[in-house]
Structure 1
């Protein structure tokens, strides 16, 4: 795990811990690493888990799918991001999401259940991890709240403008890259790709934005 210490060090879950403490507490949460190839499932809807995942390299998509293959992208996890923590923190809960490797990736699996019981050594690191887990869960709520804000808009145009405005604020710039390609963006906003492309063309003709692949520039 030492080769990934730079990733772990910047993770909010290990905030306030030294490198030595991080390596020490990995045993507390029974940390194991797995490798997944592009397109393979890490978690599947319908399963239950006691573990959450931390992306060490590559990226993954948190999705919802129906029986007919329609996909709704909830979020994208890049290096250093977590997934599955709400389900792992509630014993017996069934996943209503799937997690798929967007690119070849290595994942650190952490047993959350071991955090929710008294540590036999009563270590201070354990208490820090519990506090950090609460912060991680709160941040996930904020992320999904943003998504709800975007997809609750009535039209494809309004959904696009809501999302792009939010990304502009997040980057503190009118010029920014988004983490999705066009199909992924359509899945994230719960719209048809063709309809979204039409709206993007209209917005460009109206002088509201410029776009090239996943780069956008908003014009005011």
Structure 2
């Protein structure tokens, strides 16, 4: 599918007419780029100038511990925007690394232009700003879920809280974006402790799983 058509189908642009869509591309200095799996998009400490909208594929943010191990923070899939929070003038540099976990097509928008109404204060730009504010609200809610996961004291509770936040309903097999080591890093656990807890939870009838596909049973 043509990359511009992918962008037009995004929740951020699908209500725009073709004429308005082309105008907003110029107004926001939008570019569309393909990133290969594991390609670094932004390094921690880079000037925060752009926001990234995933049109296809998956992006991930991570930071590195003292041993150089990448600790996953958040995954961004279709129609999710990374970087909107950097509109805060007090945060001028990216605080995490952003990379593609699979081949991805990404829309790149100038952050300042995204949130600054154009001279004519056109309705199309106002609509985009409104959608961006809604996305910031969703990001805030996601951060609260992350805190609720890390706030659990017991290993099994961390796992169950993560799966509850990730899988919407019982008996609904869902593939999570992490392998075992990545999930252990995400939850702040040793891999051996994670594996034992998963095995116990499966034996006790709380979950079922096959590789990265999990099902909540109760």
Q: TM-score, normalising length from structure 1?
A: 0.88
**Residue 214, structure 1, aligned to residue 212, structure 2:** yes
CA shift digits 1:74-114 (9 cap, x unpaired): 11112322111111x12452221111111122221101201
**Which residue of the partner structure matches residue 9 of structure 1?**
9
**Which residue of the partner structure matches residue 40 of structure 2?**
41
Q: 2:7–2:107: 8 Å Cα contact kept in structure 1?
A: no
Distance 2:115 2:49 in 1: 11
Residue 151 of structure 1: how far off its partner (Å): 0.9
Residue 2 of structure 1: how far off its partner (Å): 5.4
Residue 181 of structure 1: how far off its partner (Å): 2.2
Distance 2:199 2:59 in 1: 29
**Which residue of the partner structure matches residue 72 of structure 2?**
73
**Which residue of the partner structure matches residue 189 of structure 2?**
191
**Which residue of the partner structure matches residue 204 of structure 1?**
202
Gap change, CA 1:108 and 1:125, over 3 Å in 2: same
Distance 2:13 2:189 in 1: 37
Residue 136 of structure 1: how far off its partner (Å): 0.9
Residue 180 of structure 1: how far off its partner (Å): 2.3
Distance 1:204 1:176 in 2: 14
Distance 2:16 2:9 in 1: 8
Gap change, CA 1:160 and 1:28, over 3 Å in 2: same
Gap change, CA 1:7 and 1:114, over 3 Å in 2: closer
**Which residue of the partner structure matches residue 173 of structure 2?**
176
**Which residue of the partner structure matches residue 120 of structure 2?**
121
Secondary structure of the 1:72 match is strand
**Residue 97, structure 1, aligned to residue 96, structure 2:** yes
**Which consecutive residues of structure 2, in runs of 5 or more, have no partner in the other structure?**
none
**Which consecutive residues of structure 1, in runs of 5 or more, have no partner in the other structure?**
none
Distance 2:181 2:67 in 1: 17
Distance 2:13 2:130 in 1: 10
Distance 2:95 2:151 in 1: 20
Gap change, CA 1:195 and 1:20, over 3 Å in 2: farther
Q: TM-score, normalising length from structure 2?
A: 0.88
Distance 2:48 2:193 in 1: 37
Secondary structure of the 1:79 match is coil
Equivalences, count: 216
